[in-house]
Amino acid sequence: MEANEPNRSGIVMRGIGVSPGVAIGPVMLIQAETVSVFERPIADGAVADEIARFEEALIETRHQIREIQGALREQTHSHDASIFDAHLMVLDDRTFIDEIISGVRERKRNIEFVVQEGTEKYAGVLAAVNDDYLRERVADVRDVGKRILQNLMGSAVAKRIQIDRPHLIVAHDLSPSETACLVGEQILGFAIDLGSPTSHTAVMARALSIPAVVGLRNISVSVVTGDHILIDGNKGVLILNPTDEQLQTYDELAEARRNIEVGLQRLRTEPAITCDGHSIVLSANVEGENEIPFVQESGAQGVGLLRSEFMHLSQNRMLDEEEQTRIYRNMADALAPHPLIIRTLDIGGDKCFFNMQPFKEDNPFLGLRSIRLSLRYPDYFRQQLRAILRASVVGNIRVMYPMISGVGELDEADAYLAEAKRELEAEGVAYDRSLQRGIMVEVPSAALVAPILAAQVDFFSIGTNDLIQYTLAVDRGNERVAYLYEPTHPAVLQLIRMTVDAAHAHGIWAGVCGEMAADPLMTPLLLGFGVDELSVNPRAVPLIKDAVRALAYHDTQALAQDALGGLSVKEIRSRSRQLIESVAPELSDWLS
């Protein structure tokens, strides 16, 4: 493939933007590393040498992991480096080491072969154990095993890759240690075939403030080293060999975006109120404690969605009750008097621990994910509810259950909450007795029975990311059907309206925390349906506040009414665009 064939210029690909910003530069393609090991008999006299080689490889591997961990700590100033503590523990595990040493002695086979077999055997045993923590160690064992093999075989990939010029990294997938080998000032961005916002590349890219787009499906076979790419981590867009025109457009866009964003900082302390006096709450979506300063800078009125699973996913281990309590307290304290809405674990679908689910599902988005997983395996759920309750004496904490599909699940979840309260009472531990609890409305069935659910909870938060995929039968992460993923589909809008109306009829509030809330094109519609709260990523807060303040509530109500009166998807979009552009033309570049 020639890098600069004319037909390979200016090709636009879409993935998932997981770390914001624009990066442009040459590609460094990281090929998937496979280690080929052959079985070879060895003489009795060679056994000691093979064991000595193994011991040297262990020392070398430990040294490399410590080096990576140290570098990562320095560069990120965050806890992401602790992922490698688990790797170091594998290296110190006598069961693993003794198994390999006795394997060489007894079977008289080359050390590479025994290490590979021993790694798989050990991983297999852990995968079968009925203990979630141990099962989560399988990926660590495999990663460490591969690194030991690379050291035994003198492979260069185990070492830190020196990148002497600025590059964008393109790969099919990257393991934690591969990603960490690559961190450095010369990395401009990541573009990855696989992955979701929970992948390690995504976690590390965010920690390093490096733009990243994942879920690009086949970028690693579409580029060659020498190609140039442009990635937009906000929009999840990649342009292969951008044309001069595209580059210039992007340059101008980036500059214009920056200027407008800087200008909107003046709204930080202003309320989110329409020009005719209708107020809403504008809050922020976060994944962890480290984002609280951004929430405060953005002027958001608290956190409308803490995706609590990310605190565990980013460390690839489950935090215990104490750790969770501490984090929730710190966050609530920093945000007070504004609320901290903690969504209970939402694992499964696209958010998986390496081995958290003890089964593989063909259709994980319709499978045992989210609240279903919590109710089936309630240990973590119980622990989290206790942590939330214990922390609730500080600030303004609220709890929210994800993916509730009907009253049965809500009742079951509530039973665990009641049990946790009883336990704490028996232990004499204080908690907020008026703790508010709400649900995410992200399954169409919940919207359809919203009047019944509204009678039982304190608030609704509409998760449009999932609501759209389930209503329209469009996988939210599948590029092939992305053209059908349409927030302005009248069926989606109808469900939003029903949910908000049901909430208001029962005197509770309804917010929107899906990505739709962060798109200023949707602000007129959501306001018009009477949504009380919009929860968006901190960076989008000033943009949405600008949109709200520029609009008149009565215009948005008229638009919302028309939208459900038979307009097509295109007409709804264009009417909403006209309205927002007429009052806030500065937001044009942020409209979807």
User: Which residues in this chain contact ligand PEP in the complex, by CB under 6 A?
Assistant: 305, 307, 346, 442, 463-466, 513-514
Structure-token pair, residue 288: 């962890």
Which amino acid, one-letter code, is at 207? A
Q: Based on the shown chain and the rule CB under 5 A, indicate whether residue 487 belongs to the binding site for Mg ion.
A: no
How close are the terminal C-alpha atoms of the chain, in Å?
34
Sole binder of Mg ion in the list 112, 193, 466, 546 (CB under 5 A): 466
Among 17, 463, 520, 538, binds Mg ion (CB under 5 A): 463
Minimum CB separation of residue 404 from ligand PEP in Å reads: 12
Q: At what angle do helices 83-91 and 47-76 cross, to 10 degrees?
A: 160
Annotated active-site residue in 87, 200, 338, 489: 200
In this structure, the strands spanning 237-240 and 11-14 are antiparallel
CA-nearest of 446, 16, 416, 395 to 213 is 16
Look-up: residue for tokens 């499978």?
367
Q: DSSP string covering 409-470, please?
A: HHHHHHHHHHHHHHHHHHHT----TT-EEEEEE-SHHHHHTHHHHHTT-SEEEE-HHHHHHH
DSSP 161: P
304 versus 463: smaller Cβ distance to Mg ion: 463
Q: From the CB of 433, what's the least distance to Mg ion, in Å?
A: 29
> Choosing among Mg ion, ligand PEP, none, which partner's interface includes residue 513 (Cβ < 5 to 8 Å by kind)?
ligand PEP
If contact means CB under 5 to 8 A according to the sort of partner, which of ligand PEP, Mg ion, none does residue 502 touch? none
Q: And the tokens for 312? A: 């565990």
Q: For ligand PEP, which is the closer residue by CB, 149 or 493? A: 493
CA atoms within 13 A on the CB side of 47: 11
Active site residue 200: yes
- The answer to whether 467 and 488 are in contact (CB under 8 A) is no
Q: Which is nearer to ligand PEP, 465 or 557 (CB)?
A: 465
3-state secondary structure of 250: helix
| Site pattern 416..455 for Mg ion (x: CB under 5 A) | --------------------------x-------------
Which one from 87, 181, 338, 513 is the annotated catalytic residue?
A: 513
Residue 232 binds which one of Mg ion, ligand PEP, none, with CB within 5 to 8 A depending on kind? none
Is 346 or 519 the residue whose CB approaches ligand PEP more closely? 346
Count of residues binding Mg ion (CB under 5 A)? 3
Name which of ligand PEP, Mg ion, none residue 155 binds, using a CB cut-off of 5 to 8 Å depending on partner kind: none
CA pair distance 389, 412, nearest whole angstrom: 17
CB 513 → ligand PEP: shortest distance, Å? 5
Conformational region of residue 343, where left means phi above 0, alpha means psi within -120 to 50, and beta covers everything else: beta
Q: What are the two backbone dihedrals, phi and then psi, of residue 190, each rounded to the nearest 5 degrees?
A: -125, 140
Q: How far is the CB of 515 from ligand PEP (least distance, A)?
A: 7
User: How far is it, in rounded angstroms, from Cα 44 to Cα 114?
Assistant: 15
Closest to 185 in 3D by CA, of 25, 61, 313, 293: 25
Q: State the minimum distance, in angstroms, from the CB of residue 298 to ligand PEP.
A: 18
| Residue 464 beta carbon to ligand PEP: minimum distance, rounded to whole angstroms | 5
**Minimal distance in Å, beta carbon 346 to Mg ion?**
6
Q: Which is nearer to ligand PEP, 119 or 488 (CB)?
A: 488
Task: Name residue 169's beta-bridge partners.
Answer: 28, 190
User: 86 contacts which partner out of Mg ion, ligand PEP, none, CB within 5 to 8 A by kind?
Assistant: none
Task: Specify the residue, 206 or 351, whose C-beta has the smaller distance to Mg ion.
Answer: 351
Q: How near is the Cβ of 362 to ligand PEP at its closest, in Å? A: 20
Closest contact distance (angstroms) between CB of 97 and Mg ion is 43
**C-beta of 420 vs 495, nearer to ligand PEP:** 495
Calpha distance 387→528 (Å, rounded): 37
Judged by beta carbon, residue 409 or residue 442, the one nearer Mg ion is: 442
Peptide bond into 337 cis (omega under 30): yes
Among 344, 346, 335, 343, which Cα is nearest to 281's? Answer: 335
**Could you tell me the two tokens for 415?**
């039973």
C-alpha–C-alpha distance, residues 586 and 592, integer Å = 14
Q: Is 513 a catalytic residue?
A: yes
Nearer of residues 232 and 466 to Mg ion, judged by Cβ: 466
Is the C-alpha dihedral spanning 344, 340, 463, 264 positive or negative? negative
Q: How far apart are the C-alpha atoms of 55 and 49, rounded to whole Å?
A: 10
Task: Report what 307 binds from Mg ion, ligand PEP, none; CB cut-off 5-8 Å by kind.
Answer: ligand PEP
CB of 104 closer than 8 Å to CB of 43: no
d(CA 256, CA 25): 21
Out of ligand PEP, Mg ion, none, what residue 309 binds, judged by CB under 5 to 8 A for its kind, is none
Question: Where do contacts with Mg ion occur on this chain (CB under 5 A)?
Answer: 442, 463, 466
Task: Report, as residue numbers or ranges, the catalytic residues.
Answer: 200, 513
